[in-house]
Amino acid sequence: MAENRKLAAIVVLDVVGFSRLTSLDEDGTLAAFSALREHVIEPAVARHAGRLVKWMGDGALLEFKSVVEAVRCAMAIQDGALERSAGVDADRQINLRIGVHLGDVIEQSDGDLMGDGVNIAARLEALAAPGAICLSQDAYRFVRTRLDVAVTDLGQTRLKNIGEPIHIYSVEVGVPPQIGAREIEARAATRRDMQGHDKPSIAVLPFTNMSDDVEQEYFVDGMVEDIITALSRFDELFVVARNSTFAYKGRAVEIRRVGRELGVRYVLEGSVRKAGQRIRITGQLIDAETGTHLWADKYDGRLDDVFDLQDEITASVVGTLEPTIRASEIEKARRKPAEHVGAYDLYLQALPHVYAIKQADNLTALGLLTRAMALDDAFAAAFAHAGWCLVQRVTRFWPQYCDDDIAQAVAWARRALEVGGNDAKAVVLGGFALVMLRQDYPVGMDALHRAVEINPGSGFVTSMAGCGLVFGDETEEGMRLIECGMALGPKDPNTYAMLTVSAAGHLFSGNPEMALALVNRVLTHHATLDSAHWVRTVALKILGRKEDARAAAAKLLEAYPEASASRYERVLPIRSKTSLALVIDALREAGVPE
C-alpha cells in the first residue's frame, strides 16, 4: 500500500464516559451524539478547512494544514457541545476531550493517517479534562500569540508508549484569559499530580535469570509483562511501558540511575532460580529517589502448570505492590510543606482517615477531601471517597455532616461516576454509595460490575464491589468477590470491614454459624464496630442462642445507646426484603428497642 509522509496538525476527540451514557439511555445517547456530529463537529471541521479522516466509535480523527485552525476548530466543537448540554442533567451530558498535536504522520493510500503524530494526539486527548483541549508544545508555540484563550502549562509529561516526555498545555474552553487564573492553575496542578510526573510512577525491570534455561527466560519475561499490564490497570499509577524497561535486560543497573533515566519514583526488580521442576522467584520494590527497600518477598512453585504459576505470582505481587506504594505516597504527602500541598496530596492524607471508619477520622477525611474537590472539580477519586465517608455516617449512628447527607453523598457519587472514566476505584465507590444508600440500584450495581471489569486485579476494587453486591441481593457473587479481594489485597486496612460484610452475606444465605465465626474474628480486633455487633446479635438469635443474643444486643446498645430496630430498618442497605425482615425481627427479639 502506497504511503505519503507529511507534517500535519492532528486533532483527536472522544466522548467522556460514552459506555456509561449508553447504559443509562442508549437510544437517547446515540441520538444526541449523532446530532452533535451532524450539527457541530462536521460543520466546524468544514469551516476551518479541516479533513475528517475517520470516525472511531464515539471519537474522531481530524487533520488540518494549519495548527491555528485546528485549535479554533477544537474550541468551536467544545463550545457547541457545551451549548447542546444546556438544560441536560449533569449525568447525561455529552462532554468531549480533545488532543491537538503538530507532527509527522504517514498518510496511506486510503487516506487514513498513522504514526507518532497520531499517537501523541490520542495520548493528549486522554489527558484532557472533560470540556478541555490538550496541546503539545509543538502545537502551542504556533497558537500562543494568535489566540486569546486561557492556557495552563501542565509541564513535562510522559505519555504512554511515547519515548520522550512532552511538554503539554491545557486550553480551558469558556474561561476568559484573565479571569480565574488561580482556580485554573489549581486544577492544572492536580492534573499534573494525577497524570504527569508527580503521579506515583513505577518501572518493572526484567527479572534476572539465574540459570541458562531458555524456557525459563520466556516464562520470566512473560510474568514481568503480566505484572506491567496488571499494574497499568491502576488509574492512580503511572507505569512505564515494557519497551522502555526491557532496554535494561541483561545489564547491571543502579536503581537511582534507572529512576532518573525513566523518570519514575519506584522500581520493581527481581530474579528467578530453577532447580529441577521447582522455581523460586524473588522480588523487591525500591524507592528510586532514596534507594530504600519498601518490600521484598519470594515465591516458590512448580513448573507443572507454568501459566497457573505465572498468574498466581502476578496476582500476589500486584496485590502487595499497590497498597505498599499507596502507603509510601501517603507518607510523602504528610511530609510535604503546606504551601506545596495540592489536591492529590490532600486526597492521600485523607485515605487513612477514610479507612479507619471512626467518627472523628471520618470528619478529618471529609475536611481534607472537600478541600481537594474545591481545588479540582474533576477529581473523581476525591468525590468518590467523600461519598463513601457520608455512606459511613448515614449507615451508622453518627451526627449529620450537612443538611442532607444522603443527597450530598448521591451527588458526590454521581460526580465520581461522571468524571471517573476508567478509574476503577472511583467507579466502584460511586456505585457502592448508590447501592448502600438505596438510591439507584440499576446504576449502582452496574458500576460495581464495571469496576471489576476495569481492574480485576485490585483487592480494594474487588472487595468493595463484593460488599455492594452482598447488600444489593447478589449475595453469592458478592461473597466470592470479597474472598477474591482479600486474597489479592492481604494488607488492605479495610479487611475487617470486608469480613463483616461477608458475615452478613452468610446470614442472608442461611449460614449463621459461618457468620458468627467471621464476626467474632472482627470483634476481637475491632470491638466497637457497630455493624459487627448487629451481625453477631442476629446470628446468635437465628442459632437459637437467646441469652447470648440478648447479651450481644446489650453490648451493641452499650456502644451505641441510640441504636433502635426502626432506625436499623431505615438505614441498613439490605435490598432483599426477606433478608431485611430477618435482621430486624432478630434484633427486636434480642432486645433492641423499637
Note the maximum CA span of the chain: 85
Q: Which amino acid is at 74?
A: A
Q: Which amino acid is at 464?
A: M
- For residue 43 the three cell numbers come to 460543520
Q: How far apart are CA 416 and CA 427, in angstroms?
A: 7
Alpha helices in 458-576 (DSSP H): 459-471, 475-488, 495-508, 512-525, 530-542, 546-559, 565-571
Alpha helices in 37-180 (DSSP H): 42-47, 67-84, 116-127, 137-143
List average pLDDT for each run of 10 residues in the chain, which is 594 residues long.
Answer: 80 90 88 93 94 92 93 92 81 89 90 90 86 88 73 74 79 53 39 48 88 71 84 83 78 82 86 81 88 87 74 83 84 73 87 90 95 91 96 89 94 94 92 95 95 90 95 96 86 83 95 95 86 94 95 91 91 94 95 92
Residue 286, classed as helix, strand or coil, is strand
Which pLDDT score is estimated for 150? 67
Q: For the chain, which domains are there?
A: 3-179 (3.30.70.1230), 201-332 (3.40.50.10610), 337-426 (1.25.40), 491-594 (1.25.40.10)
Which pLDDT score is estimated for 187? 39
Torsion of CA 435, 326, 228, 18, to 10 degrees: 30
Q: How far apart are CA 313 and CA 278, in angstroms?
A: 14
- In degrees, rounded to 5, the angle at the alpha carbon of residue 116 between the alpha carbons of residues 113 and 119 is 75
Number of H helices, E strands in the chain: 25, 14
State if pTM tops 0.75.
no
- Sole residue written with cell 451530558: 93
Q: Which amino acid is at 331?
A: E
Neighbours of 521 (CB within 10 A): 15
Residue 401: closest CA among 414, 415, 386, 390: 390
- For residue 187 the three cell numbers come to 486544577
Q: Which amino acid is at 117?
A: G
- From residue 471, alpha-carbon distances to 387, 413, 452, 577 in Å are 17, 17, 17, 11
**Residue 63 backbone class (left: φ over 0; alpha: ψ -120 to 50; beta: rest):** beta
Cβ pair 65, 120 in contact under 8 A: no
Which pLDDT score is estimated for 197? 36
Which pLDDT score is estimated for 407? 95
- Per-residue b/e over 532-542, b at no fewer than 16 CB within 10 Å? bbbbbbbbbbb
Cβ pair 379, 372 in contact under 8 A: yes
Cβ pair 63, 45 in contact under 8 A: no
Q: How far is CA 10 from the centre of its chain?
A: 29
Neighbours of 445 (CB within 10 A): 20
Residue 342, classed as helix, strand or coil, is coil
Cβ pair 228, 242 in contact under 8 A: yes
Q: How far apart are CA 543 and CA 314, in angstroms?
A: 41
Count how many residues are written for the chain.
Answer: 594
For CA atoms 56, 60, 66, 71, give the dihedral sign: negative
- For residue 438 the three cell numbers come to 438505596
Supply the Cα-derived Rg of the chain in whole angstroms: 26
Q: Which amino acid is at 372?
A: A
Which pLDDT score is estimated for 223? 83
Q: Which run of H or of E encompasses 263?
A: none
- Share above pLDDT 90 across residues of the chain, in percent, rounded to a whole number: 46
Q: How far apart are CA 485 and CA 111, in angstroms?
A: 47
Q: How far is CA 262 from the centre of its chain?
A: 24
- From residue 413, alpha-carbon distances to 125, 416, 485 in Å are 25, 5, 22
DSSP lists the bridge partners of residue 296 as 284
Q: How far apart are CA 440 and CA 91, in angstroms?
A: 13
Three state DSSP letters for 182-249: HHHHHHHHHHHHHHCCCCCEEEECCCEECCCCHHHHHHHHHHHHHHHHHHHCCCCCEECCHHHHHHHC
